[in-house]
A and B are shown apart, each in its own frame.
Chain A
Amino acid sequence: MDNSFSAPHYDDTEPLIVHVPALEHHSTPQHRHHFETEEQQREAGSFGMWLFLLTEIMFFGGMFFAYLLYRNWYYPAFAAASNQLSVPLGAINTAILITSGFAMALGVYYAEIRDRKKLVFALVLTTVFGLAFLGVKYFEYKEKYELHHIPGDKFSVAMFVNPHAYELTKDEPPLAPDMAEKTQVFFFLYFAMTGMHALHMIIGLGLLVWLIARARRGDFSTGYVAPIENFGLYWHFVDIVWIFLFPLLYLINRHPLK
């Protein structure tokens, strides 16, 4: 670079830049004006969704971190409390959710082949299985409520201190009162994690209703599949969170260390 460079005295009332004629523009209704091409728009949307899911992973990550920490600290309490979760209900819910994810994947496929009726059917199926999941979850939560296993003022450790007095826990070893208190930490994390997961499902179901309405109108049967595709990513993410929650909360360490 020439060190003696000085700014030219130049009266710039006009801007300057090399330019080319405007690139080809599509004029489909979904095409937003600030994207050069529809392809660019679709890529941007999908990339944005993946990034959003990354933030979701970090969000849930905090709770998984807390779970792993306290599981190590309070192993016996976590084992005893985990035994109070119903594996059959959890397994049924896992199956329901995976089926719902399959229906969603079908939906993306039907949108891509521009089949309006089958797309609507697949989305409705996704919604029905999503609702079924929440229904099962309701009965699980209700049982916890009846057993006073919801963290807070009414939480009771009686079942863990004196398990033989209860039909449900008659084969369980008793916990020291100190350790039994820690079952509340387990249940807090259980409700926080599954509750946050359920909240994501409820938001997803709301979006599904909106997508079904638009799909019925034929919005996604003309080759414009981005919203379906991106919602599919979200829905599968919610599935995957459950795929981690189910083994961590229901399946592992059901038996105290000998």
Chain B
Amino acid sequence: MSAATIVTLPDQATATVPKKNYITSEHGLLSWLLTADHKRIAMLYMISITFFFFIGGAFAGLIRLELLTPQSDLVAADTYNKFFTMHGIVMVFLFLVPSVPATLGNFLIPIMIGAKDLAFPKINLLSWYLYMIGGTLTLSALVLGGVDTGWTFTTPLSTHYLNTHVITAALAIFIAGFSSIFTGLNFIVTLHRMRCPGMTWFRMPLFCWSNYAASLLMVLGTPVLAIAIVLVFLERVFGVGVFDPAKGGDPLLFQHLFWFYSHPAVYIMILPGMGVISEVISTFSRKRVFGYTAVAFSSVAIALFGFFVWEHHMFIMGVSNYSALVFSLLTMLVAVPSAIKIFNWAFTLQKGSITFETPMLYAFGFMGLFTIGGLTGVFLGVLGMDIHLTETYFIVAHFHFVMVGGMLMAFLSGVHFWWPKMTGRMYPESLSKLAAVVTFIGFILTFMPQFILGYLGMPRRYAAYPPEFQVLNVFSTAGATILGVGYMLPMLYLAWSLKYGAVAGNNPWQATGLEWQIQSPPLTENFVETPIMDHEAYDYEWLEKQQTEGAKYIG
């Protein structure tokens, strides 16, 4: 690793964190719970999603512990079902969907486009409360005795055959869904109506573009999940047959409605992460993102194609062969805009002045792991392959490569990248590099064996498995342990850095985005005066010129 670094910190002997900022502007718990400031709400989200991440992570740990041995010996099979259901629900609806948009997006989008706040600050706060109600209901379903439908709520299993707390969990997801709708709605309106003078669509950072695309999916997809869940709820309460074949219902209808949201939902999860990677790769290569327009439009293309591929979750469920053919083709088409992104990032790196700060390490992790996750998705889009691989550990490995290897890496990359901006303090550099490497190794060790297990035919969602699969499962469990350490580390040292980290100054990375031109942590209304944008977000020559000429300042 090169010794070169772009980190530029102010003189630590004299530097202080600005006394006046969004954190110190008001005091007391109520000033946080009733705030309308997008930055404070982002922080509330940050704390809550971290909490739920570790709840979901604890269940992942229990699942891996059970799978250490071939017999179902740690817990009974139905308890195991509750474990993976709770892991899925918490991770998907309470961590991955809100992760980047509700924390980093909330904090940064208004600043990146030169606005004082999101368009609807009170709705933003409402969305956090809805999230918390959804989260509390999920926890209460857990405490009351759990739910064992799987996160997919498959009917008629969820409507007629289970006597667990399906209604509580369904209600939780319904409410958390509205939180996500409101976040998306707020972002779309903000990006359309709140950009500062001179901030054209094609001068915006790509982070805004990808959050915009994800918001479209949230706004259009989530209501369909909501109605599917309402119908499950009504079917359970009144015992009628919308989805139960015994009473004339069609279980496939539920699958269609559910996946109409839940496939686009994976793009809701990954797109904002891709936005983070665009920012990080550009900053640590000191280059404009290669093919800016292509990357921007590929986000929108992913959002658009993402709505027309849902049936690939249902190839083995007796859908028509002809529609399966079309959906298979469309599924493979989604790989095109994703590949556009990967190639453009690679070309951004080419001949760039690359430095290896922690966010960049996570970004490299993202690029490698997301590529594997994405390409195995193409395997699964192929009809013949899908019949062999679906409902096996191959699927589990595939989506964990995309969601954990991709999204979580991107989230951690973004958290490290903007940590100095959000808190005014640097995280400890060596320790965080160690954490990034540990996470990567732990991840590969956990999920790479699962591809092989799945290919060999180990089904998902069973507490027991044939003894010949044990070696690979032991690898996987060992990897999960390392991965756990990799996730604990950032939580500990980031908390430590809040008090003891080096003072970061306004622009430790020498980055070009508007957010780096204001103080860290920012003021309550971000800018003293409305900025006017006269250049693109990745204009390093502009930055250099500003710094050498010592142009006008605002604080």
Q: Hey, which bits of chain A sit against chain B, CB under 8 A? A: 1, 3-23, 32-36, 40, 43-44, 47-48, 51-52, 54-56, 58-63, 65-66, 69-70, 73-74, 151-153, 155, 181-182, 184-185, 188-189, 192, 196
B contacts with A: majority SS? loop
List 12 contacting pairs A-B, 8 Å CB cutoff, sorted by A: A12-B10, A18-B534, A19-B532, A40-B194, A48-B119, A55-B219, A61-B227, A69-B253, A182-B248, A184-B240, A184-B248, A188-B242
A65 neighbours in B (Cβ, 8 Å): 253, 256-257
Residues on A with beta carbons closer than 8 Å to the beta carbon of B438: none
Which residue in A1, A14, A36, A52 is a CB contact (below 8 Å) of B553?
Answer: A14
| Given A19-B531, A65-B253, A192-B230, 10 further pairs, Cβ under 8 A | A12-B8, A12-B505, A16-B551, A18-B551, A23-B530, A34-B117, A59-B227, A62-B224, A62-B228, A182-B248
Inter-chain CA distance A58–B221, complex, in Å, is: 7
Contact A17 B531 (CB under 8 A): yes
Say yes or no for B6: interface residue by CB 8 A criterion: yes
> A185 is contacted by which of B249, B507, B548 (Cβ under 8 Å)?
B249
Among B188, B194, B249, B288: residue with most chain A CB under 10 A: B249
A5-B286, A48-B185, A185-B248 as given contacts; A12 in contact with B219, CB under 8 Å:
no
Given contacts A34-B121, A74-B248, A185-B241, A56 and B223 within 8 Å (CB-CB): yes
Whether, in the assembled complex, B510 has its beta carbon less than 8 Å from a beta carbon of chain A, the answer is yes
B554 in complex: contacting residue of A15, A62, A192, CB < 8 Å:
A15
CA distance A233 to B342 in the complex (A): 42
B-side interface residues, number (CB < 8 Å): 79
B136 sits at the interface (CB 8 A): no
Closest 6 CB pairs of A and B: A62-B227, A59-B223, A34-B117, A58-B223, A34-B116, A151-B240
Known contacts A19-B529, A63-B227: A10-B506 contact under CB 8 Å: no
Q: List residues 512-551 of chain B with CB under 8 A from any CB of chain A.
A: 514, 517-519, 525, 528-532, 534, 540-541, 544, 546-548, 550-551
Residues of A within 8 A of B505 (CB): 12-13
Q: How far is the CB of A16 from chain B (nearest CB, A)?
A: 5
- Is B294 among interface residues, defined by CB-CB distance under 8 A? no
Nearest neighbor of B36 in chain A, beta-carbon distance: A34
Indicate the member of B117, B189, B351, B551 with the most A CB atoms within 10 Å: B189
B241 to chain A, nearest CB (A): 6
Q: A1-B287, A12-B8 are in contact. Are A69 and B250 (CB under 8 A)?
A: yes
| 8 A Cβ contacts from B221-271 to A | 221-224, 226-228, 230-231, 234, 238-242, 247-250, 253, 256-257
Given the known interface contacts A62-B257, A152-B239, the answer about A5 and B544 at a Cβ–Cβ threshold of 8 Å is: yes
Chain B, range 439-473, C-beta contacts under 8 Å to A: none
Please give the distance in Å from B5's CB to the nearest CB on chain A.
9
